[in-house]
Structure 1
Amino acid sequence: MSEQKANYNTSTIAEMTNGIILACYEKLPCVQESHQTEKELEHHLIQNLISQGYTLFSASSADELYQNLKTQIERLNQVTFTNEEWQRFLMEYLDTPNDGMIEKTRKIQENHIYDFIFDDGHLKNIKIIDKDDIHNNRLQVTHQVSQKGVHNNRYDVTILVNGLPLVHIELKKRGVSLREAFNQIHRYKKESFNTEHSLYKYTQIFVISNGTQTRYFANTTLQSKNNYEFTCEWADAKNRVIADLEDFTKTFFERRTVLEVLTKYCIFDTNNTLLIMRPYQIAATERILWKIKSSYENKKAGKTEAGGFIWHTTGSGKTLTSFKTARLSTALDCIDKVFFVVDRKDLDYQTMKEYQRFQKDSVNGSKNTKELKLAIEKEDNKIVVTTIQKLNEFVKKNPKHDIYNKHCVLIYDECHRSQFGEAQKNIKKSFKYYYQFGFTGTPIFPENSLGGETTSAIFGAQLHSYVITDAIRDGKVLKFKVDYNNVVSEFKSAEIETDEKVLKQLERKMLLHPDRITKITEHILNVFNTKTHRNEYYDIKHRRLNGFNAMFAVQSVEAAKLYYDEFQKQQANFPEEKRLKVATIYSFSANEEQFAVGEIPEEDFEPTALESTAKEFLDKVIIDYNGYFKTNFSTNGYEFQNYYKDLSLRVKNKEVDLLIIVGMFLTGFDAPTLNTLFVDKHLKYHGLIQAFSRTNRILNKVKTFGNIVCFRDLEKATQEAIKTFGDENSVNVILEKSYDEYINGFKDEVSGDLIKGYKEICTEILEKFPDPTEIYLESDKKEFVKLFGELLKSENILRNYDEFETFDSGISDRQMQNMKSVYVDIREEIINAKHNEESEKIQIDFSDIEFQIDLLKTDEINLDYILKLILEKSKESNDTEALNTEIRRVIRSSLGTRAKEELIIEFINTTNLSELKNTTDILDTFYTYAKQEKTLKINQLIDDENLKSEAKRFIEKSIHKGYVEYSGAELDSILPPTSRRQGAREAKKLTVLEKMKKLVDIFIGI
């Protein structure tokens, strides 16, 4: 933060060390050699853990883990199980048959106590983890545990809590890519972690390290959270990363810290997803809890200094932090009631579900205040979730309520806008003993305050900060790439205007001129596929698997109407598969007083308050929407709120391609699939940052930054906003580099290294590997993989730049297909060698190479494209052998079709292609043939493995989903009767699983 803003009373409160997040961590002197092997790294880690109070437990098998588990559970609960009782305890609770990872996680996070009846009839609460006295838990460390699954695996280091493997650490030697450890953990999850009777299903936290870098992440089944981008570094309260394994062990693996993370700072949400809070989220939570306790002890309740605000940048997970803070505040003896206050008329659906599960009836969403009054008066309701408008109505109608004399915590999820109005003042005036806290990504400073009031003046001292530059550095949000487009030069004078009054005068005459609306719509349709990475090869059936989606922020309801109609008009003659699904939403915007420059007015859920033509148009839009999605919404009352919720979900699921908005969705809406914001709206300060930040949520490796495409001259406003919420040097950190730098190369500001440009990479790979199919030496293979990976990364970034459309790389389509095919072949060769324990056959060490498979998938060629190509080539020549060679080359360049290679070639060889006249013919003929083959192969598998009749439905469902569900009861239920002795049933299950996976790969999409 700049010195200037430090004068605005936003400085951090005095540093504390009573939490698990250290106020400041001084890095230990480095004593490790750079050539330290993985074995040496493992040995040193174990010795450090032992010195920190962990007990070494030597276990080489799952059986030994179970024996130790019995001892630890007996110690924790001060009981003794007979062998029969122990087996019954396992069967009833701890190791229930068919329990998967989700059920095991629920036992740790929610149901950690079980009422067990011993053989003599007495009942005792048996706990598997002590959450009340965390020091009563026993920490052990074990290593090289062997477990059999699809492949035999040996795990590096495991931390046992009361005998359960709750934390697993995967190590790689220094210099090896950390992603290699990440990928290995995911191989273990597929191959052995989740096998029958595996205690590793209980794992909550994974840690990966190559000695130099260390990261942690939650064990979750949610596909969207299983990317490397969701791993996290540990840090101190000043957000300084603690990366070296030596430092990480001293801090994160300090006994109290790891136990508090497991018992307090994990959240198992209503989607059965395990989330682990990041260090800055924990730091903020600890600061608030400290502030409440110290303010209570010093009798400061009811004063501004009893509270404070958290400045965590948009997209960094403020709602999760505030949710956890509210929950933990309820456990404080000095607090009578906790109010979680939101600034929107619509309570966030996911937040509402979380609070309702934590405490039934905690959420009050009705229009009157009677239910709110009942919730406040309910003795066992320690937490109340409501809107600021509802709470304001309550205090006005109940001026002498008992709640005002109790100690109450008020937590505001987004402390901007209405928290600065009369409602906030009324609430503060009524409550006598309040502790008030606000969370914001964009605080109000003097330079962007209209009324003179700032965030710190309203809420008190800044308790913790995690600003946008911190989040970009840590990879928690993305940079922005901003384009400023003047599409029609005659309107430029209006596009550069910043005065609000003048803008209103120019809107109808210039900014909403039909020519301008037409040209901007045309421009968006032209660049949409490029900006969102939408692959032209994907047909409509598969579109949700490909690319991102976008928003279009416009100035007014009238603009939304004009643009919506223009998109419908220009797309009228597009083929159906190329049409964008465009939706819009707007409503009545109350003419409330603004408290900050650039504030985006929030729209009320009252479409009836719209003038008649705007409401009629919204009715028409919703009819179109109902036609798209077979829904039945309208502008009436709750139906409109339901439309809002359904639209929100469909945007998040990429079912809507482009959403036109005026104010709704521009603040607080979180959809990681959005990567582009088109802007024809005047934005400033925190309104600009909030709007831009709809695009910068992390998702995967393909999404490298948020695309902002401006049709107004917002360059100066963007730089001012960035300096306000970062510092003087933030512009280079927050905004992406230029096209020229990525094409020609640049010097990295942090490392000082020269980064190769795309042009140089293309030249080098063509000079060294003009025909990649002729690479035989392993040293050449490694160099090719490294170079082609650089090319994929560079190309993935450059695709977002309009200028790249016309750039000639010099690499022909055929060469590119060959490069992709060889690249994947080399990767499969290495993976197969590892699985077959033949790594010694690979003479060159590839462990420091990261294969960019996610980026390869962005160029996937779909099946329909290949079939059309077969038809075209067959009409050019009757040479079936040449056709097979050409089609094999195309197929093998695409990850999604490689498994279908023999199916497609067999189709070519058994079909009279000359009889097929057009695309429809070949598509119909192939899909008929493929479905017959699918039925034959499924029946063959059922017969070969003697599976039960229900297997057909299970296999069909797996093909439809694209994967085989391994955990749970369904796969087990279709197996034939098989002895469990010596692992025979597990071996049978794994054999069937592998065969099913092959069928899924071949027939997915058919």
Structure 2
Amino acid sequence: MSTQSEQVLEDNLVKQLQALGYTYVALPDEAALLANLKTQLEAHNRVTLTAPEFGRVLNHLHKGGVFDRAKTLRDKLQLTKDNGESIYLEFIQQEHWCQNRFQVTQQVRQEGAYKNRYDVTLLVNGLPLVQIELKRRGLELKEAFNQINRYQRHSFGASFGLFQYVQVFVISNGVNTKYYANNRHQTFKQTFYWADKANKLITQLEAFSQAFLEPCHLAKMLTKYIVLSETHKVLMVLRPYQFYAAEAIIERVRTSDKSGYIWHATGSGKTLTSFKASQLLVALPKVHKVVFVVDRKDLDFQTTKEFNSFSAGSVDGTDNTKALVQQLADDGTKLIVTTIQKLNTAISQLRYLPRLEKLQTERVVFIFDECHRSQFGDTHRRIKAFFGAAQLFGFTGTPIFADNAVRNELGKRTTRELFDECLHKYLITDAIKDENVLRFSVEYIGRYREKEGSHTAIDIEVEDIDTKELLEAPQRLEKITDYIIDNHARKTHGRELTALFCVSSVDTLIRYYELFRQRKAEGRHQLKIATIFSYTDNEADKGANGLLPDFDDDDLALPIAAEPGPALAYTAHSHTREKLDAFIQDYNTQYNTKYSTKDSQSFYNYYNDLSKRVKNREVDILLVVNMFLTGFDSKPLNTLYVDKNLKHHGLIQAFSRTNRLYTEQKSQGNIVCFRNLKQATDDAIALFSNKDARDIILMEPYEDYVEKFNAAVAELLKVAPTVASVDALPSEDEELAFVKAFRELMRLKNVLTSFADFSFDQLDMSAQGFEDYKSKYLDLYDKVKNSTPKEKESILEDVDFELELIHRDEINVAYILKLLAKLNGATAAEQQQQKQAILDILTGEATLRSKRELIQKFINENLPHIDDAEDVPATFEAFWAQEQQKALDAISNEEKLDPLKLQALLGTYLFTERKPLIDEVINMVEEKPKFLQRRPVYERVVNKVIGFVDTFINGMGA
């Protein structure tokens, strides 16, 4: 049976959409698209527009990029008609979203830099708001995603740029169907399947169309569930579980006075969900205010920032209780973000009560973030008593059940008791299956061994150990520190990613920090270590950290083997605040800042700056006790080192710092336990998902990935039995098969290298063999990247080569020069071996391939004449400068460019990292091209400039 063709898939979809209520319209080109837009806008607004009037409408529509046009779509246009009459023109009806006009068309031709034809377009009131791209069954869905990105570059913005009004893209190969917002910054990982309320995925195109593309549902998504992020100027669309949660809260408020809670896995985007729910709740006539409540100042800052990023100025963050009272009393302030502590103060102190009395009968909706931590004291009871007509909704990834409830003055309370029923569930197992978060790889490191006699060692059960004495032994802490130093690059892919290290107490944290500092002074590492912790004036009260206890000190530990060693330089009588100030001074020195603990504001500013630098990968390892283990989101963070007893919600929350989606390099969250948390991990997984969920949440053992890698090697060898056979692949179909087969090998190797046990000795392909195939893989990438676009695109054009799985910043020209210097004084055989190793690196490193020919020329022509190894860098620098000037002259001569203007443009490009504008390039050309030749000339010159920078400037090293 033949595979269903793309055309059949497209035609069947169009028929289905017509049956759902879309009107079919043939729109072969932009002229037809514009004529249809005029007709549809006239019908929707019940007006007739003259040609000049419609011209003014088009001028209004033809402004800004995707983000600006999304705002234009949602606004009305005040149009002055030819007779002087003023009318308001609506582009989309948002309150009664079904009352829009829905059309479907196919194969619209659009010509920009290149000619393109789009598969299926959905129009609302004549504007193309949804674009559907299809691939035949069996092809990768990512190819459709890459194809849309190509359209973004080549034609969506052409002429009047109506396709920049697209709000949502849909991609499908019939079997798998996903949707995502029109946001060019997204990767394929930010594409979503639709699902039903029980989180069952709807992947087939026909079922997806029935559920998602039904006109009323689609219009509701477009008008209510797309968020315009003001900070990043991008569109965001809610995922299905976010949609169902927001709908459930709105329905609860609209139809009852009951409360409820949302159980959504940590890392699944609760802030976006709560923002959209809050925004829609504020619009309900019966709702007086919406108050979003968090439980610590650091989260208050983070959440306020995130809310305002979705809609600038939508939240007026409160700095003190007085400001909060002002906002609560002000009828004009509809949405407030505050902390549970300030809210408690506001309703507890007599001086504030007169201003707040009227709120006792108003419908105030409270939304509590991370309600598993904020809502189990007397404050919850006080809020319910004070706000008599309030409705309370909690968001949590780890609810409190009877099994993990902590006893306080009110006894053991569960989330269900406090908030009523759960309105929607989206568990960590759902999030992992949907690929919205990553799985965890958990490794347990270390075993205590007691010496018996002079040479025999036997394992001891951990229960037999005086754990406190052992866990705090200086020798153990030293071994853990050294283990982290030795393995951190492996865990974080050459420090491309970052880590948290959580420890059991402030005292232990201080010891670890000073060990890292000592090892750095000894030249053992160059890691950037930072820390933050709570200190108290009453030093005897070590546990007063403001958090519910997430661990018990009597849990079992699996400690690193301890051997005699020097005691740490730590004064037990030092005040922890003094230590923290000393550590912050290290931070100030490293980052040229001026923070301290002299007042709460400076400490708060330090927290915020530290948070930003962790997210920006400027900190390698952040040492903490409790802070940052919940409510902190950093996509590049992939590793958690654990020397602390965790259980229940505390364990899941801490582990979940590592599993946010990021790049292809980040294939899982790495958990490195220096304590025996295996049973606690299994128990927590069972509590917050089900007893059989362990295999879904945790990665398979190392041995399983070895088997998968070896199976992938066998598949690769079917396509290309030898490295040389890659060059003889007869067609692009076979080349595509090779690319996919080797890409799978790279993905598996990326996982394997994060394990401490990794070695090529256990694999069916040697390290050299892998590098040889990788060079052929990169050859194919170069072939696609450097090819001139044609009317018929290469089938490799839309393949994601995932080069980030190859790229390593530490391998640069400076590194190569060190290897070249070693050639002096070596034997002929050693020189030949070293030269071959250098050429292998130049072939296999993506960042060095553009430099390969030049470096090989230096090796062949210059290196034999250098007698002293110390002269290699200076000689190479002179050679490089000469070749650089030759390349610059060649660009200038070939394209007839003004050399001085070319130099200036290069300088601007290096400084701004912004591609030159077309006028900036054409201005350099001495013989100005004709209008139709401007675009090809521009693209040719820009490609040469970028190629020059890649060759001569990027990846050089110090």
Interval of TM-score (by shorter of Structure 1 and Structure 2): 0.7 to 0.9
By how many angstroms is 1:813 displaced? 5.0
Match in the other structure for 1:560: 509
Matched, 1:215 2:178: yes
Structure 1: which amino acid aligns with 2:515? Answer: E
Counterpart of 1:768?
Answer: 721
- For the 8 Å contact 1:874–1:883, the answer to whether it is kept is no
User: Could you tell me how far apart the structure 1 residues matched to 2:45 and 2:9 are?
Assistant: 35
Indicate if the aligned counterparts of 2:432 and 2:438 stay in contact, CA closer than 8 A. Answer: yes
Is the alpha carbon distance of 1:911 and 1:193 closer, same or farther for their aligned partners in structure 2, counting shifts above 3 Å? farther
How far did 1:760 drift? 5.7
Equivalent position of 1:549 in the other structure: 498
TM-superposed deviation, 1:123: 3.8
Q: What amino acid is the match of 1:768? A: P
* Other-structure match for 1:424: 380
Q: Deviations over 1:375-416 (max 9, x none)?
A: 112222111211111111111124451111101111111111
Equivalenced residue count is: 912
Does 2:485 match 1:485?
no
The residue number in structure 2 matching 1:292 is 253
Match of 1:133 among 88, 91, 96: 96
Instruction: Report the Cα distance in structure 1 between the residues aligned to 2:96 and 2:923, rounded to whole angstroms.
Output: 41
Tell me the residue number matched to 1:392: 344
> Which of 316, 323, 347 matches 1:363?
316
The one-letter amino acid paired with 2:65 is: G
1:588 aligns with 2:553: no
CA offsets, 1:74-126, max 9 Å, x none? 333344444344334433x3113xx3334334434xx6333344455444333
**Which of 581, 586, 598 is equivalent to 1:624?**
586
Q: Secondary structure at the match of 2:631?
A: coil
User: Which shifted more, 144-153 or 308-317?
Assistant: 144-153
1:671 CA drift (Å): 0.6
Provide the TM-score with structure 2 as the length reference: 0.87
Alignment-derived partner of residue 202 in structure 1: 165
Q: Distance in 1 between matches of 2:820 and 2:109?
A: 48
Match of 2:769 in 1: 815
Describe how 1:752-763 pairs up with structure 2 within 5 A: 757=711
Give SS of 2:587's match: helix
Residues 1:523 and 1:597: Cα distance change in structure 2 (over 3 Å) = closer
**Is the Cα–Cα contact under 8 Å of residues 471 and 477 in structure 1 kept in the other structure?**
yes
Q: How does 1:51-200 map to 2 (within 5 A)?
A: 51-91=19-59, 93-96=60-63, 99-108=64-73, 112-195=75-158, 197-200=160-163
- Separation in 2, partners of 1:557, 1:826: 53
Q: In structure 2, how many angstroms separate the alpha carbons of the residues matched to 1:78 and 1:830?
A: 51
Partner letter of residue 532 of structure 1?
T
C-alpha displacement at 1:737, in angstroms? 0.7
Match 2:687 to one of 718, 724, 747: 724
Structure 2 CA distance for partners of 1:81 and 1:910, relative to 1, 3 Å: farther
**Counterparts of 1:833 and 1:930, CA distance in 2:** 28
Q: Is the 8 A contact 2:534 2:545 kept in 1?
A: no
Distance 1:236 1:326 in 2: 23
Contact kept? 2:710, 2:764, Cα under 8 Å:
no
Between the aligned partners of 2:160 and 2:858, the Cα distance in structure 1 is 43
Change in 2 beyond 3 A, CA 1:449/1:462:
same
1:332 match: 284
Are 1:771 and 1:815, in contact at CA under 8 Å, matched by a contact in 2?
no
Unaligned regions of 5+ residues in structure 1, if any? Answer: 1-32, 296-300, 535-545, 601-609, 746-754
Q: One-letter code of the match for 1:798?
A: L
Taking the aligned partners of 1:374 and 1:495, their CA distance within structure 2 comes to 60
Partner deviation per Cα, 1:21-73 (whole Å, 9 max, x = no partner): xxxxxxxxxxxx87210010011111111222222232233333233333333
Q: Secondary structure at the match of 1:183?
A: helix
SS of residue paired to 1:134: coil
Counterpart CA distance in 2 for 1:197 and 1:340 is: 42
**Structure 2 SS opposite 1:899:** helix
Residue 480 of structure 2: aligned partner? 520
Q: CA deviation at 1:700?
A: 2.2
Partners of 1:819 and 1:551 in 2: CA distance: 35
Deviation at 1:520, TM superposition (A): 0.6
Counterpart residue type for residue 55 of structure 2 = Q
**Distance across 1 between alignment mates of 2:845 and 2:874:** 19
Q: Give the Cα–Cα distance (whole angstroms) in 1 for the partners of residues 592 and 746 of structure 2.
A: 40
Q: 2: CA distance between counterparts of 1:679 and 1:731?
A: 19
Aligned partners of 1:49 and 1:249 also within 8 Å:
yes
CA distance in 1, matches of 2:921, 2:216: 40
CA distance in 2, matches of 1:985, 1:385: 52
Closer, same or farther: CA 887–293 of 1 in aligned 2, 3 Å: same
The CA deviation string for residues 730-754 of structure 1, in whole angstroms up to 9 with x for no partner, is: 1111111111122235xxxxxxxxx
* Contact 1:772 1:819 (8 Å CA) reproduced: no
Match of 1:691 in 2: 654
What residue number does 2:813 align with?
A: 863
The code of the aligned residue for 1:584 comes to: T
Aligned equivalents of 1:480, 1:50: Cα separation in 2: 45
| Cα 1:443–1:870 shift into 2, 3 Å | same
Question: Which residue number in structure 1 is paired with residue 368 of structure 2?
Answer: 412
2:418 partner SS: helix
Question: Does the CA-based 8 Å contact 1:583-1:621 persist in structure 2?
Answer: yes
Corresponding residue SS for 2:535: coil
Matches within 5 A, 1:445-484: 445-451=401-407, 452-484=412-444
The question of whether the paired residues in 1 share the 8 Å contact of 2:444 and 2:676 is answered with yes
The answer to whether the Cα contact below 8 Å between 2:246 and 2:277 also exists between their aligned partners in 1 is yes
Amino acid at match of 1:558: D
> In 2 relative to 1, CA 960–765 (structure 1 residues): closer, same or farther, beyond 3 Å?
farther
2: CA distance, partners of 1:339 / 1:858: 46
TM superposition shift of 1:866: 3.5
- Work out whether residues 822 and 869 of structure 2, in 8 Å CA contact, stay in contact via their aligned partners in 1: no
Q: Which residue of 2 aligns with 1:250?
A: 210
**What stretches of structure 2 of length at least 5 have no aligned partner?**
452-457, 537-542, 554-571
The one of 723, 744, 751 equivalent to 1:797 is 751
Percent of aligned positions with the same letter in both sequences? 37
1:675 has 2:622 as partner:
no
Counterpart of 1:804 in 2: which secondary structure?
Answer: coil
- Counterpart of 1:826 (choices 780, 788, 802) is 780
Task: Give a deviation string over 1:491-539, Cα, whole Å, max 9, x none.
Answer: 99999569xxx9xx954x32221101110101111111111111xxxxx
- Report Cα offsets for 1:122-152 as digits up to 9, x if no partner: 4433333222332333222222222334433
Q: What residue number does 1:574 align with?
A: 523
- Give the secondary structure class of the aligned counterpart of 2:266: coil
SS at match of 1:170: strand
Offset of residue 188 of structure 1:
2.1
Correspondences of 1:601-1000 after superposition (within 5 Å): 613-636=575-598, 637-745=600-708, 757=711, 764=717, 768-769=721-722, 771-772=724-725, 775-778=728-731, 781=735, 784-805=738-759, 807=761, 809=763, 811-829=765-783, 835-837=789-791, 851-857=801-807, 861-872=811-822, 890-905=841-856, 911=862, 914-915=865-866, 917-918=868-869, 921-922=872-873, 925-926=876-877, 929-930=880-881, 933=884, 937=888, 940-941=891-892, 944=895, 953-959=904-910, 964=915, 985-1000=934-949
- The separation in 2 between residues aligned to 1:511 and 1:264, in whole angstroms, is 54
The amino acid across from 2:780 in the alignment is I
Moved more, 822-831 or 458-467: 822-831
Shift in Å, 1:435: 1.0
- The aligned residue for residue 541 of structure 1 is none
CA distance in 1: counterparts of 2:302 and 2:7, whole angstroms: 44
Structure 2 counterpart of 1:585, which letter?
Answer: I
Give the Cα separation in 2 of the matches to 1:34 and 1:598.
Answer: 59
Equivalent residue number for residue 14 of structure 1: none
**Worse-matched range after superposition: 807-816 or 133-142:** 807-816
Which whole-Å deviations, capped at 9, do the CAs of 1:553-573 have from their partners, x for residues lacking one?
Answer: 001111111001101112223
Give the whole-Å Cα distance in 2 for the aligned partners of 1:497 and 1:228: 48
